[in-house]
Amino acid sequence: MDFSHTEALWVLLLGSLLGLELIGKVPPTLHTPLMSGANAVSGITTLAALSLIIKAGDNKPLLVIGSISLGFALFNVVGGFLVTDRMLAMFSRKTIRKKGNR
Amino acid sequence: MINSVLLKYSIDLVAVLLLALGIKGLSKVRSARDANRLAAIAMGLAVVGVLVDFLGGSGISTNAWIWILLGTLVGGFFGMITANKVPMTAMPETVALFNGCGGMSSLLVAIGVLLFRSNSDEVQKTIDLVGNISIVVSVFVGAITFSGSIVAMAKLQGWLNTPAWTQSKLRHAINISFAVFALIGSIDLLFGGDSGLWLLVFGSSLLGIGVTLPIGGADMPVVISLLNSYSGVAAAAAGFVVESQLLIVAGAMVGAAGLILTQVMCNGMNRSLVSVLFGGALGVSSSRGGSDQSEYSNITSCSVDECALTIEAAERVVIVPGYGLAVAQAQHTLREVTRVLEAGGIEVSYAIHPVAGRMPGHMNVLLAEADVPYEQLKEMDVINPDFPATDVVLVLGANDVVNPQAKKDPNSPLYGMPVLDVYEARTVFVVKRGMSAGYSGIKNDLFELSNTSMVFGDAKKVLGDLLVELKELGLGRKG
């Protein structure tokens, strides 16, 4: 796949603008879960670690670095999403009960 | 071949779309949980996209698969364990830890690519300015994110204190010198040198520590949020390094969204980002502290049964939860107490300070766990006008967020921080383990007021006793 830096800079610009627009008003209740969720998304470096390993060929040190990097990234991703879900589960359980009561 | 490229593109596009929807959904209570799952699915898709891309192109060697599997299993396993085992009270630290690891990952990728490049002649030719800049940014931001997050975690866990020297002007000089190290390293790297890498790594790691270490208590959530934004930037930079547009979009999105969230948090605390980052910790300055804390006089302490009698006669009770409640894991006992109060016809609400606990929303999560109705949780601006009409305020392990100094004493380091005006209520009970200062280390004038009584003890134990006393008084059986 072609990769040009000019294009990539456009992608960076548009991605940043999108990020700025995504979050408007956030109730304080959701600050922690949102931070945690966004944090899990930043574990997207998983992709970088993956391509590093695949491109490494027979380069042993690089494979090891890539693998450690992948481990860190996935720790972030898996842990991040699960912990966010754990937090949010508490909110949703309550909303369901509330609906049932009224 | 063509098909796999097409497939890869469509997978990437769907993944970006889902990620964006996920982050958007996370900012609304109703959709938050589904949104989180959506984002997780998007992440899975993105990984599939990369694998498809390589399988359709150069292929993936068995060797690579082994290392991929190894990293996946180890990282995934520990992530799962940590996410499931960690107590709700330690949420802020956990987010900081995960975040640091994300930064570390970007850092390692950049280092890997750099080492790889210097070993291979073929790729050597493609060295270009943008590539070098992205490696520098990835290393710099990744290292700061990692070391900063780890320090933030250690501070929140109480493993690290705020050293006195970090409150003096000296720290700016030290941090600037770290930054200069990092800058020299970067310049060397940009012009193709390799030795600059380690200078950059150490310079930026130390800078991350130096910047985070002086920041105290209430400001820590803002820092974690900011570091979260950084890890997005680091990911975007890593995207340039490995030439992945998806990585760039996602990283940029998290970076920008994190920045907005940080701003929202700062507004909530009435602090500016600059004062959080460079103003130093509240109240740890050496001139204050120490002697101040022993100067309490006119402290009224009372027993649980006196407290129960007063509460029983009240019509309106406001609960102010704080970190002490979280530490004591007393949220369920608290809920039982408030159930009894409500059954006795007493109006109960909870005053939630934006930074009660150690992170915005910390108390909401905790109380939600204990089944407290959402509409009883009142934000600071909503409940503050109600305090003069409140009979009893029960402060549970909160300290700095109810300190009247913030409103009345212009010399106080807390001055200007928005607080709950609990002192305006008729009676205030403060449940606390001892007279130690809050996270900021500042004396709390509230404790000396004539309408304040201290109930010493662990929040869970006190609430348990209170429950028994209230039941003995026959509360909740009238109706």
What is the model's pLDDT at position B293? 45
Flag if A39 and B256 touch (Cβ within 8 Å): no
Of B31-45, B152-166, B382-396, B428-442, minimum mean pLDDT range: B428-442
> Closest Cα of chain B to A55: distance in Å?
8
pTM for the model = 0.78
B101–A72: do the CB atoms touch at under 8 Å? yes
Question: Is residue B326 predicted with pLDDT exceeding 70?
Answer: yes
Amino acid at B225: S
Q: Are residues B70 and B156 in the same domain?
A: no
B150 band by pLDDT with thresholds 50, 70 and 90: very high
Residues of B in contact with A100 (CB under 8 A): none
Domain co-membership, B208 together with B105:
yes
Buried-exposed string B429-453: b where 16+ CB fall within 10 A, e elsewhere? bbbbeeeebbbbbbbbbbbeeeebb
pLDDT of residue A96: 46
Q: Does the beta-carbon distance from B39 to A65 stay under 8 Å?
A: no
Q: Are residues B420 and B342 in the same domain?
A: yes
A67 closest CB neighbour out of B71, B95, B371: B71
Q: Is B479 part of a structural domain of the chain?
A: no
Q: For chain B, what is the mean pLDDT? A: 82
Interface test with B, best of A10, A72, A85 (most B CBs within 10 A): A72
B235, part of any domain: yes
Burial class (CB in 10 A: 0-12, 13-18, 19+), A101: exposed
For the stretch B266-312, pLDDT in tens is: 876 666 777 777 765 544 433 333 334 446 777 788 888 888 888 88
Q: DSSP for B351-392?
A: EE-TTSTTSTTHHHHHHHHTT--GGGEEEHHHHGGGGGG-SE
Task: Determine whether the interchain pair B256/A53 forms a contact, defined as Cβ–Cβ distance below 8 Å.
Answer: no
Question: Does residue B134 fall inside a structural domain?
Answer: yes
From chain B, pick out residues whose CB is under 8 angstroms from the CB of A10.
none
- Count the domains in chain B: 3
CA–CA distance, B140 with B183 (Å, rounded to integer): 9
Which of B116, B221, B265 lies closest to A59 in CB terms? B116
Residues B127 and B153 in one domain: yes
List, in sequence order, every residue forming a beta bridge with B394; answer none if it has no partner: B319, B429
What's the token pair of residue A77?
């991703």
For residue B167, the model assigns a pLDDT of 67
Which residues from chain B sit within 8 angstroms of residue A61, using beta carbons? Answer: 115
B318 pLDDT above the threshold of 60: yes
Over range B357-383, report the average pLDDT: 79
Cα(B424)–Cα(B408) distance, integer angstroms: 13
Per residue in B4-30, pLDDT (tens digit) is 778 888 998 999 999 989 988 888 878
- Is there a single domain that holds both residue B49 and residue B3? yes
Q: Is the pLDDT of residue B407 over 90?
A: no
Q: Give the minimum alpha-carbon distance from B383 to chain A in angstroms, rounded to a whole number.
A: 15
Contacts of B310 (CB under 8 A, 6+ apart): B392, B427, B429
Q: What is the mean pLDDT of residues B235-241?
A: 90
pLDDT tens figures, B34-57 = 999 999 999 999 999 888 888 887
CB contact under 8 A, B46 and A56: no
For helices A5-22 and B2-25, angle between their N-to-C axes, nearest 10 degrees: 30
- Asked if residue B161 belongs to a domain, the reply is yes
**Assign residue B59 a region: left if phi > 0, alpha if psi is -120 to 50, beta otherwise?**
left
Q: Report the pLDDT value the prediction gives residue B38, as an integer from 0 to 100.
A: 93
- CATH code of the domain covering residue B467: 3.40.50.1220
Given a cut of 70, whether residue B157 has pLDDT beyond it is yes
- B474 pLDDT above the threshold of 80: no
Q: Are residues B455 and B311 in the same domain?
A: yes
Examine the domain organization and report whether B132 and B234 are in the same domain: yes
* Option in B53, B76, B364 nearest A74 (CB): B76
In tens, the pLDDT along A45-61 reads: 999 999 889 888 788 88
Question: What is the pLDDT at residue B149?
Answer: 93
Q: What is the mean pLDDT of residues B81-108?
A: 88
Minimal CA separation from B209 to chain A, in Å: 20
**B454 belongs to a structural domain:** yes
Residue percentage of chain B with pLDDT more than 70: 87
Return the amino acid letter for B360.
P
pLDDT digit string, tens, across residues B241-258: 888 888 999 999 999 988
Could you tell me if B116 and B215 lie in one domain?
Answer: yes
Measured in angstroms, the CA of A12 and the nearest CA of chain B are apart by 6
Nearest CA in chain B to A54: B64
- Could you tell me how many CB contacts below 8 A there are between chain A and chain B? 402
pLDDT at B106: 92
As a whole number, mean pLDDT of residues B329-342 equals 87
Mean pLDDT (chain A) is: 82
pLDDT at A99: 43
Contacts of B249 in chain A (CB under 8 A): 11, 14-15, 18
Residue B94 in domain? no
Of B20, B53, B85, the position where a domain reaches its end is: B85
| Residues of B annotated catalytic, as ranges | 400
CB atoms within 10 A of CB B289: 18
> Are residues B124 and B199 part of one domain?
yes
Domain extent, residue B437, equals: 297-472
Mutation test of the interface with chain B: which of A41, A53, A77, A88, choosing the one with the most B Cβ atoms within 10 A?
A41
pLDDT at B478 over 60: no
Using a CB-CB cut-off of 8 Å, the residues of chain B touching A7 are 245
Q: What was the pLDDT predicted at B279?
A: 63
Nearest CB to A75: which of B40, B78, B235? Answer: B78
Mean pLDDT along residues A62-71: 92
B377 contact partners, CB below 8 Å, separation of at least 6:
A29, B349, B350, B352, B363, B364, B367
Question: What are the structural domain ranges in chain A?
Answer: 25-101
Cross-chain residue pair B43–A81, CB shorter than 8 Å: yes
Q: Which residues of A touch B111 (CB under 8 A)?
A: 65
Best probe of the B interface among A9, A18, A20, A35, by most B CBs < 10 A, is A35
The verdict on B24 and B106 lying in the same domain is no
B319 in the same domain as B216: no
On whether residue B268 sits in a domain, the answer given is yes
Question: How confident is the model over B425-463, as pLDDT tens digits?
Answer: 888 888 887 776 665 667 788 888 888 888 888 888 888
Q: Which of B100-104, B387-391, B443-447, B469-473 has the lowest mean pLDDT?
A: B443-447
The answer to whether residue B95 sits within a structural domain is no
Strand order in the sheet with B377-379: B377-379, B347-352, B316-321, B392-396, B427-432, B452-456
Q: What count of other Cβ atoms lies within 10 Å of the Cβ of residue B80?
A: 15
Residue B377: φ, ψ to 5°: -80, 115
Contact A53 B68 (CB under 8 A): yes
Distance between CA atoms of B265 and A25, rounded to whole angstroms?
Answer: 11
Whose tokens are 């930074």? That residue is B355
Q: Tell whether the torsion through CA atoms of B13, B16, B20 and B26 is positive or negative.
A: positive
Q: Which one of B242, B249, B364 has the shortest CB-CB distance to A11?
A: B249
Based on the fold, state whether residues B201 and B303 are members of the same structural domain: no
Closest chain B CA to residue A15: B249
pLDDT at A73: 94
Q: What residues of A are in contact with residue B30 (Cβ under 8 Å)?
A: 95
- B43 closest CB neighbour out of A31, A44, A91: A44
